[in-house]
Amino acid sequence: MQDFITRLPKAELHLHIEGSLEPELMFALAERNGVALPYASIEAVREAYQFDDLQSFLVLYYQGMSVLRTAEDFFDLAMDYFRRASAEGVVHVELHFDPQAHLARGIELGVVIEGLARACRLASRELDLSSALIMAFLRDRPADEAMQVLERAAPYWEMLDAIGLDSAEHGHPPQKFVEVFERARALGIARVAHAGEEGPAAYIAQALDLLDVCRIDHGVRCLEDPALVERLRALRMPLTVCPLSNVKLKVVERIDDHPLPQLLEAGLLLTINSDDPAYFGGGMRDNFLACQRAFGWSEATLLGLARNAIEVAFMDPARRSELLVRLESMA
C-alpha cells in the first residue's frame, strides 16, 4: 500500500509554501541573512512544534518565516519543497503564499512572487511538476489592507491562479472580505477560502454566498449543518482536507476521530492535502498513508481522492488529461 500511495500521481491543492520551511533550511537561511532565531538547534525547533490550536501554530509559523528575505530565499524555499514532494509522487502543487506577512517585514511583493515563480518554472522543467499560485489574505488583518495588496499586485495578476483567505479564523468571517473578493472576481481571478477549519459551518456558507469561491479549504465542520452538506454535495464543491494538520492543531484529537469517513459517505468532493508539512509532521504521502491506515481505505478510494484533486486543480487541459491518463493506468 505504501508503494501504491507513493506511485499515485498526487495533486496538492492546499499547501502554504511558508509552512513547508523545514528547520534545516530555516537555519541555513537565518545564517545567510544574519537573522537571529529563538532556537538553539534544529532539534529544538522540532520540539517546539506542539500546538494547542490554530493560533498557537500561527505564532511559530509567522516567526519561522522571518528568515525569508530575498527572491533567492523564496526560490530555495519552493524548490526545497518541490524536490521533496516530487520524490513522494506529487505531480502538481498549488502554493498559497501570504504577502502581508512579508510586506509587514519590508519584503516587497515582487521579491516573493518572482522567487516563487522562478521555482515553479524550474520544477516544471526539471521535475515535471506543475504548479499554481494562490495569493492569500490574512483574515485577522483589516480588509482594506487586503484590498491594497490586491491592487499592488496588479503587475502580477496574470500570474495568479487564485486568491485565498487564511490565518486565524475565529471572529474573522468571510463577510469581512466581500469587497476584496468582488474586486478579484471583476478582475477574473478565481477565489478560494479557508472556512470551517476552526470556524463554524456558517463561515462555509458565507464563503459560498458572499465570496463566490470555487473551493473550500478544510471545510470539515460542514458536518454540523446537514443542509450545508447537501448543498456542498449538489454543487460538487471541492473541500481541500488536511488530515494531519487537523490532528496537530487539535481540530480532532486523533486521526481515527477524523470526520473523513463521514465526509466521504456524504458524497462530498474531497481532496487530501498537507497544509503546512514542515510543522505538521508529514507531506502528501504521510497524509494519504495515515488515512489509509486509520480508515482501511482501498486502492479505489485512494485513486478516487487523487482523481478529484487532478479534476479540480488549476491546470491547463493538456496537463490535466496527461495526469488523468497516468492515474487511470494504476486502476
276 touching ligand ADE, by CB under 6 A: yes
Non-local (6+) Cβ contacts of 279 within 8 A are 19, 49, 51, 57, 60, 61, 248
Q: Are 269 and 231 in contact (CB under 8 A)?
A: no
**How near is the Cβ of 13 to ligand ADE at its closest, in Å?**
13
Q: Which does 97 bind (CB under 5 to 8 A by kind): Zn ion, ligand ADE, none?
A: none
User: 248 vs 320, which CB is nearer to ligand ADE?
Assistant: 248
| Chosen residue from 12, 131, 275, 282 binding Zn ion by CB under 5 A | 275
Sheet containing 190-195, strands listed edge to edge, beginning at the edge strand earlier in sequence: 10-16, 90-97, 130-138, 162-166, 190-195, 215-218, 238-241, 269-272
Q: Are 230 and 263 in contact (CB under 8 A)?
A: no
Q: Are 225 and 201 in contact (CB under 8 A)?
A: yes
12 touching Zn ion, by CB under 5 A: no
HSE at residue 254, side-chain half, CA atoms within 13 A, is: 5
**How near is the Cβ of 208 to Zn ion at its closest, in Å?**
18
Among 197, 230, 299, 322, the active-site one is: 197
Q: Write out the binding residues for Zn ion, residues 160-189 only, by CB under 5 A.
A: none
Query: Of 170, 161, 143, nearest to 249 (Cα)?
Result: 170
* Total residues at interface with ligand ADE (CB under 6 A): 11
Q: Write out the binding residues for ligand ADE, residues 238-257 only, by CB under 6 A.
A: 245
Query: Of 268, 283, 231, 280, nearest to 50 (Cα)?
Result: 280
**How near is the Cβ of 249 to ligand ADE at its closest, in Å?**
7
Q: Write out the binding residues for ligand ADE, residues 148-167 only, by CB under 6 A.
A: 166-167
Cα–Cα separations (whole angstroms), residue 16 to 95, 125, 132, 173, 179: 6, 22, 12, 20, 24
Would you give the binding string for Zn ion spanning residues 228-247, x where CB under 5 A is met? Answer: --------------------
Q: Cell numbers of 18, please?
A: 511558508
22 touching ligand ADE, by CB under 6 A: no
Q: Cell numbers of 284, please?
A: 502528501
71 touching ligand ADE, by CB under 6 A: no
Does residue 197 have an active-site annotation? yes
Non-local (6+) Cβ contacts of 180 within 8 A are 137, 143, 146, 147, 150, 163
18 touching Zn ion, by CB under 5 A: no
Residues forming a β-bridge with 272: 241
54 touching ligand ADE, by CB under 6 A: yes
User: 281 vs 304, which CB is nearer to ligand ADE?
Assistant: 281
User: 88 vs 197, which CB is nearer to ligand ADE?
Assistant: 197
Please identify, among the stretches 59-67, 104-112, 271-279, 314-322, the one whose residues bind Zn ion according to the rule CB under 5 A: 271-279
| Chosen residue from 241, 275, 288, 309 binding ligand ADE by CB under 6 A | 275
Q: Taking the CB of residue 173, how many other CB atoms lie within 10 A of it?
A: 17
User: 66 vs 167, which CB is nearer to ligand ADE?
Assistant: 167
The angle formed by the CA atoms of residues 187, 240 and 143, to the nearest 5 degrees, is 45
**How near is the Cβ of 169 to ligand ADE at its closest, in Å?**
6
Residues near Zn ion (CB under 5 A):
275
Residues near ligand ADE (CB under 6 A):
16, 19, 54, 61, 166-167, 194, 197, 245, 275-276
Which active-site residues does the annotation give? 197
